[in-house]
């Protein structure tokens, strides 16, 4: 019975969040955004991740997470990665 209820509730929440994100993104050309990132290490699997978030006057939203395990973390790597994220967001 709980499963029967969870599906419609989850679908409703996904729809609400999707709508919020669309409205959020539509304001970016007018308000601009700040691209933020943070990193973390999963101590069990030893994998390294970088999370990317956007901030605008409407709020902060998670953009994506990248597994950067086994990469050479030098300036060139970060420039290419941030270029990729900027392309995903748009100019």
Determine contact, residues 88/61, Cβ cutoff 8 Å. no
Give me the pLDDT at residue 3, please. 62
- Min mean pLDDT across 24-28, 77-81, 82-86 is at 24-28
Domain borders along the chain are 2-89
Give me the pLDDT at residue 90, please. 80
pLDDT at residue 60 greater than cutoff 70: yes
Q: What is the DSSP string of 13-40?
A: HHHHHHHHHHHHHHTHHHH--EEEEEEE
- Give the C-alpha distances (Å, rounded to integers) separating 40 from 13, 16, 24, 61, 80: 28, 29, 26, 18, 19
pLDDT tens, residue by residue, 20-59: 888 888 888 899 999 999 999 999 999 999 999 999 998 8
Residue that wins the pLDDT comparison between 91 and 54: 54
């Amino acid at each position: 019975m709980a499963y029967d209820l969870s599906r419609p509730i989850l679908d409703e929440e996904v729809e609400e969040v999707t709508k919020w994100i669309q409205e959020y993104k539509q304001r970016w050309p007018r308000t601009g955004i700040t691209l933020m990132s943070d990193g973390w290490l999963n101590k069990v699997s030893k994998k390294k991740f970088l999370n990317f978030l956007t901030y605008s006057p409407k709020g902060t939203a998670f953009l994506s997470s990248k597994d950067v395990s086994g990469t050479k973390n030098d300036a060139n790597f970060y420039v290419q990665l941030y270029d990729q994220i900027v392309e995903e967001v748009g100019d």
